[in-house]
Amino acid sequence: MIKGTESVTVEVNAGVKSESGLATAFSDFKTSLRGELILPQDKDYDLARKVWNGMIDKRPAAIVRCAGVSDVIRSIKFAMENNLTIAVRGGGHNVAGNAVCDGGLVIDFSRMKSVRVDLASGTARAEPGTTWGEFDRETQQFGLATTGGLVSSTGIAGFALGGGIGWLVRKYGSTCDNLVSADVVKANGELVRASESENQDLFWGLRGGGGNFGVVTSFEFKVHRVGPMVLGGLVVHPLAKAREVLSFFREFARDSSDDLTMLGVLFTAPPAPFLPEKIHNTQVVAIAGCYCGPIEEGEEVLKPLREFGTPEVDLFQPMPYRVLQSFLDAVAPPGLQNYWKSGYLAELSDEAIETILEYNSKIPSPLSAVHIHQLGGQFSRVLDESSAFSHRDASFALNIVSTWPDPKHNEKNIAWTREFFASIQRFTNGVYVNFLGQEGEERVKAAYGEEKFQRLQQLKKKYDPTNFFHHNQNIKPAE
């Protein structure tokens, strides 16, 4: 046991090292690092073990805020030698909370945030602690971007490794489709590069397979000319019009230009100054979007959407891409209780809409929302077999985003989410791994399909045969 303000049980196999032996080992380890080692008795410990989802309350034996690749290699070797389990933290946003673990060692990238844009090759290389806000800031300096998250505090690392769906997904594919290369520390501590020409099998698995195969210390992405001004925003309608609005969304999405990516969303309007007072604290339905082509063209393309029905408010306007990228930040603060259930939809059928409306009418928390991400476009043109990321034929990704402040209300909010999902699941086909909670192996399998899952298991056997990296949406090595 390592002593702290509260006790922490170190997850080790019996007989490896005595308590005092482990304490000495930690002390030697600390002096070997360029970064910081945070132990339970340190003042930063409670802050450092927090992740975005306030429901996650794990107590690692130690957190290494790495300063470079050498710290990562040392951490992996230290954990191996001392039989400690390991978790890897990029932006700490994953709702499942796998970025931290009880009793093990957390490799924390929050100090590794460098981004270097290479104008000649049209790429940007970023360290794994970078958030999308930080990445966009560097790339937009040159009028460039790649598909990133809708909330600027989300980490690029877990996001890209799980796939990556954002405002540019229909124009430039998912984030992992834009990955050119990655530096990866394997379970044996060896650093390798994965790309189309080096370790192709690993490169295939990294694009969608999550953190299963190693620790990525550098991501190289293709970047594209975007903005700096795009046409973004949302139209908001009263919930009473949701049936018509969602049917319109489905039809409008069907043949829309690749330059346009939309999000259908049902939520409770906050008392925000940019929303009319009469809808404050009422349930609404909105279609948000980003048109990343020329603004005048976008104004024409978006006309039917903006002229449909009588919206309570139309917030579409030309805005810097970076502003759009943080447009939703206020509705996703860290520290709240979060429980999500998700699935891809081949079609947003009338029956699916009815189910959504039925459960939305019983929503227990005004902070919860239903998100319907439009897919298609370039996302669907990427060959399914070209990477681990799957379900390229899905038209939408549905996410029941259940959020509430007080843990006292966990039971009713979780029950609602589960019942809602149990009802809508029949319309879904597979799930996006980055929206998964702790849902078990069958659901991880559903993210890839049987055949790909088996291929991923073979890859896991090659790169991580002992399943050393298992605090993730885990793919066990093939027998």
Ligand X SMILES: Cc1cc2nc3c(=O)[nH]c(=O)nc-3n(C[C@H](O)[C@H](O)[C@H](O)COP(=O)(O)OP(=O)(O)OC[C@H]3O[C@@H](n4cnc5c(N)ncnc54)[C@H](O)[C@@H]3O)c2cc1C
Applying CB under 6 A, the residues found at the interface with ligand X are: 52, 88-95, 98-99, 109, 128, 149-151, 154-155, 157-159, 161-162, 164-166, 210-211, 215-216, 332, 434, 471-472
Instruction: Quote the Cα angle for 441-446-450, to 5°.
Output: 90
- For ligand X, give the closer residue by CB, 98 or 395: 98
Q: Closest approach of Cβ 68 to ligand X, in Å?
A: 13
Q: Is 347 helix (H, G, I), strand (E, B) or coil?
A: coil
- For ligand X, give the closer residue by CB, 150 or 319: 150
Q: Closest approach of Cβ 146 to ligand X, in Å?
A: 13
Q: Closest approach of Cβ 362 to ligand X, in Å?
A: 24
Peptide bond preceding 238: is omega within 30 degrees of 0, i.e. cis?
no
Nearest-angstrom CA–CA distance, 72 and 275: 46
Nearest-angstrom CA–CA distance, 202 and 205: 5
- For ligand X, give the closer residue by CB, 311 or 387: 387
| 182, 216 contact by CB (below 8 A) | yes
- For ligand X, give the closer residue by CB, 117 or 215: 215
According to DSSP, residue 475 is labeled -
Nearest-angstrom CA–CA distance, 111 and 478: 35
Cβ contacts of 304-308, under 8 Å, gap ≥ 24 = 304/252, 305/235, 305/248, 305/252, 305/262, 306/235, 308/235, 308/245, 308/248, 308/252
Rg from Cα positions in the chain: 22
Nearest-angstrom CA–CA distance, 400 and 364: 12
- For ligand X, give the closer residue by CB, 166 or 430: 166
- For ligand X, give the closer residue by CB, 112 or 279: 112
Q: Closest approach of Cβ 343 to ligand X, in Å?
A: 14
Q: Closest approach of Cβ 24 to ligand X, in Å?
A: 29
- For ligand X, give the closer residue by CB, 55 or 99: 99
Residue 422, C-beta contacts closer than 8 angstroms, at least 6 positions apart: none
- For ligand X, give the closer residue by CB, 56 or 285: 56
- For ligand X, give the closer residue by CB, 193 or 241: 193
Q: Closest approach of Cβ 155 to ligand X, in Å?
A: 3
Q: Is the Cα torsion angle 457, 460, 465, 470 positive or negative in sign?
A: negative
Distance, C-alpha 285 to centroid of its chain? 24
| 473, 444 contact by CB (below 8 A) | yes
Q: Closest approach of Cβ 268 to ligand X, in Å?
A: 17
Nearest alpha-carbon partner for 132 in 147, 153, 146, 112: 153
Q: Closest approach of Cβ 28 to ligand X, in Å?
A: 25
Q: Closest approach of Cβ 122 to ligand X, in Å?
A: 23
The structure tokens 């590794």 sit at 112
